[in-house]
Structure 1
Amino acid sequence: MTEPAAADLRVLILAGGMSYEHEISMKSGRRAADALQRQGIACEVRDLDGELLPVLQEFPPDVVLPLVHGAAGEGGSLQAVLELSDIPFVGTGSIGARRAWNKITAKDLMRSAGIPTPDWISMPRQAFSDFGARKLLDRIAAKMGLPLMVKPNSGGSGMGVHAVHKEDDFPSAMMGCFSYGDEALIETFIDGRSIAVGVIDLGDGPTALPPVEIVPLHGDYDYAARYNPGATRWTVPAAIGEDVTARVAELAVEVHRTLGLGDMSRIDMIVDDAGGVQVLGANVAPGTTETSLLPMGIKAAGLDFGETLATMVRQAIARS
C-alpha cells in the first residue's frame, strides 16, 4: 500500500482501560501523543472501553498505538481484536503478547532457549485451600530456601510483588500477590542490581538500548517508587562495565526474539555482584511517562522519542 504522508496520518493511541494501571497508561498515551504531534502526525488518545469496536468500524485509523497496561493491553486480547479488524498497530502481535504476559510461559520458553532466569515454582490460589496454606508454604520454603520473590503470574508495575526474607513474611506476601491474580509465581530471590534494557526494532532487526539501572531510594521498586518523581534514582547507561553491558544487551535481544516480540519491548534483569545476569521477564507495552524506562534508553541512545515512535508507526502501516 502507499504510505501516507505524516500530515495525512491519523494515529489512534489506546490507553487507560479497566486496570490498576489506568492513570499511568493515560499519562503514557498523552506523552506519546505529544511526541508524535511534534513530528506532524495527528493523534487521538482514547480510553479503552466497550465502544472501541464501533469506533474502529466507523472511523478506522491509519494505525493504532496500544499503550494499555494490564491484561487487556498486554495479554494479547487487544492485539487480537486489532488483528481481527485488519487495523495496523505498533508493537507485538497477540501471540507474542500472550507469551510475555504469562510469566510462567515466558520463563519456560527462556529456560528452553538457554536464557538464564531464576528457578521458580507456580501455584494457583486454590492449591493453598486444597493442601493447606501453612503446610504448603513450609514445604516451598524448605525446598527452595529463603529469600524468595512472590509475584502474580500476570501483572506489571510491581503490583502484588513481595520479597520473602523470613517464613513469617510468607503468608502476607501470598495474600498480597493473590490480590492481583489467581496464580502465584514464586522465584528464587537474586540479590543484585536491577537493570532494564529496552529493545526497539526500527527496520533492521531488534536492537538493545543502553541499560538503565534502577535504585529505589526507600524500600522496594514498587508502584510508588516507579511513578513518583524523586522516589527512585535511575542511571543510564548503567555503570556495569563493558562486558556486562554487552551481555545484558545480547540477552535482551535474545529474549525479544525468543518470545516473538515486535517493535518495542523492555526486558527486566538482575545483575549479581559477580556480573552474572538473570532475566526476570519482558514487557510488551512499556510505559512512556517521564519516569518510564524505555524513553530513558531511547534518549541515551541518541535517538529522539517522537522520531522513534513515528518510525514504528510507518513500519506498522508498511506491514499491512
Structure 2
Amino acid sequence: MVKLNVAVLFGGQSGEHEVSKMSAKSIINNINKDKYEIYLVGITKCGEWYLYKGDVEKIETDEWKKEAIPVVIGPSTKYKGILTLKDGKYEFYPIDVVFPVLHGPNGEDGTVQGLLELLEVPYVGPNVLSSSLCMDKIFSKRLFKESGIPTPDFTIVYRNELNDINKKDEIFNRVSGIGYPCFIKPANMGSSVGITKVHNENELYDALKLAAKYDRKIIVEQGIDAREIECAVLGNENPEASIAGEILPAHEFYDYDAKYYDEASKLFIPAPIPDVKMEEIRDLAVKAFVALDCRGMARVDFLMDKNTGKVYLNELNTIPGFTKISMYPKLWEATGKPYPVLIDELIELAISANKEKCTNW
C-alpha cells in the first residue's frame, strides 16, 4: 500500500506553544503508521521551522531541536512539500496533506491556512476565513447572536485604552454594564491563557493588563454560574456532533493549570444532563459550525446555567487540543470513533475539501 505523506506542524509562536507539543505527540502516538509517512515540522517560539525525524518523546522536553534540520515550506505550487538544507545539500520531501496542530495565533487563526491555500495542499481543519472568525471571540460571538445562538453578554476593551487615564471611568462603567463576576479574556487566544475571573472592581485592572499581554483586544464576558459542557463536531458539508461531555474543574474555572496539570479536574463523558439538553447542545454545536462555515473539525464549548438550565454557546475551537486528556478525541471515542479512526477521517475530510475547492462546475 502506498502511504500518504502527512506533515504534522507543531509548536508555533503563540502562548499555546507547549499545549501544541503535547497535542502533536499524542497524534503521532495514535496515527496509523502503516497508512501514513509522517513528517514532523516543529516551529519554535521565534518562528523558525525545522524538520524533526527523532523520538517523539523528545518533543515535549524541547530536546527535539538538537536533532532538527532547518526547513522551508513555501507558497509555490510547483513544490508541494518540505525543502531542507543540510551540509550544503538540498532535500525535498513531497507532502500529500498537512495536519496543523498549532493552537492559538499564528497557527489556528488563518495565517498558516493561508500559506497552505497558496500551496494548494490539503490541510486538516477549517479554511482561512472560518479559522480567523473562530479565533476572534468578538467576531464569532457577533455571528452567534446574528444566527440566533445564545451566548453570554460581552463588551470590549482595547489595550491602548488601559494607558489612557481619561478612559478609566468609562471602562469601569462599561464593565459594570456586564456585571460581576465577569471573565476577562484576550480576544484571540485559547487554552485559557490570559483569562481571569474578576469578582469586583478592585480586581479588574490587573486582569485587563494580563489579557493585554496577549492581545490588543480584550473581551469582558458575563459571568454565569454554569456547568461547563463541551461537544465535538466532525465533517464538511454534513457535519455531525459527538455526545457532549462535562468538565468539573479543579479550580474556580477551567484555567490553564486545571486543564493540563491539576489531576483533580474531572471529565464526565457523557455529560450527566437530561436527554433533551444533550440534544439541544448537539444541535447548537452543528448550527454554530455551519454558521461560521467550518469544515473538518471543531470543539464547541457551552455553559449551562446551574439555576435555570439555559444553554449558552461560549466559543468554538477549530484546532482543539489532542493531548491525552483532551476532550475532542475523548468525546469521539465515546461516540464510537477511536482515536486512530478519528485521525483517518480528519485526513480524508481535508483531501475531500481540497478536491471540492478545485472542482469546476
TM-score bracket for this pair, using the shorter chain length: over 0.9
Alignment of structure 1 residues 179-190 onto 2, 5 Å = 179-190=213-224
Aligned match of 1:29 in 24, 34, 49? 24
User: Does the C-alpha gap of structure 1 residues 193 and 112 become closer, same or farther in structure 2, counting only changes over 3 Å?
Assistant: same
| 1:93-134 alpha-carbon deviations (Å, 9 max, x no partner) | 111001101111101111000000111111211123335353
Shift of 1:268: 0.8
User: Does structure 1 residue 104 correspond to structure 2 residue 138?
Assistant: yes
For residues 154-201 of structure 1, give each alpha carbon's deviation from its aligned partner in whole angstroms, at most 9, with x where no partner exists: 000101111111111111111111122111101111111011111111
Q: Deviations over 1:34-55 (max 9, x none)?
A: 2223553221221133444255
CA separation in 1, counterparts of 2:14 and 2:130? 21
Q: Determine if contact 1:137/1:170 at 8 Å carries over to the other structure.
A: no
Which letter maps to 1:234?
Answer: L
* Residue correspondences, number: 314
* 3-state SS of paired residue (1:59): strand
Write out aligned runs for 1:184-199 (5 A).
184-199=218-233
User: What's the CA shift string for 1:244-288, capped at 9, x where partnerless?
Assistant: 101110110011011111111001110012221111111000111
AA of the residue aligned to 2:28: A
Q: Is the 8 A contact 2:162 2:209 kept in 1?
A: no
Q: Structure 2 matches for 1:129-140, cutoff 5 A?
A: 129-130=163-164, 132=166, 134-140=168-174
- What amino acid sits opposite 1:107 in the alignment? K
2:317 aligned residue = 283
- Report the TM-score, using the length of structure 2 for normalisation: 0.83
Distance 1:261 1:40, change over 3 A: same
Q: Distance in 2 between matches of 1:233 and 1:133?
A: 41
Aligned twin of 1:62: 96
Matched residue SS, 2:273: coil
Instruction: Name structure 1 gaps, 5 residues minimum.
Output: none
Letter in 2 for 1:36: I
Give 2:256's aligned residue.
223
Larger radius of gyration: 2
Q: C-alpha distance in 2, partners of 1:155/1:146?
A: 22
Higher relative contact order (CA 8 A, sep 6+): 1
Contact (CA 8 Å) 1:211, 1:245: kept in 2 or not? yes
Is 2:79 aligned against 1:53? no
Query: Does residue 1:292 correspond to 2:326, yes or no?
Result: yes
Q: Match for 1:207: what amino acid?
A: E
> How big is the shift at 1:317?
2.3
Which has the larger strand fraction? 2
Identity %: 30
- Any gaps of 5 or more consecutive residues in structure 2? 50-70, 75-80, 84-91, 356-361
1:305 partner letter: Y
TM-score of the superposition, structure 1-length normalised? 0.93
SS in 2 for 1:287: coil
Q: Write the mapping of 1:117-196 to structure 2, written as runs, cut at 5 A.
A: 117-130=151-164, 132=166, 134-196=168-230
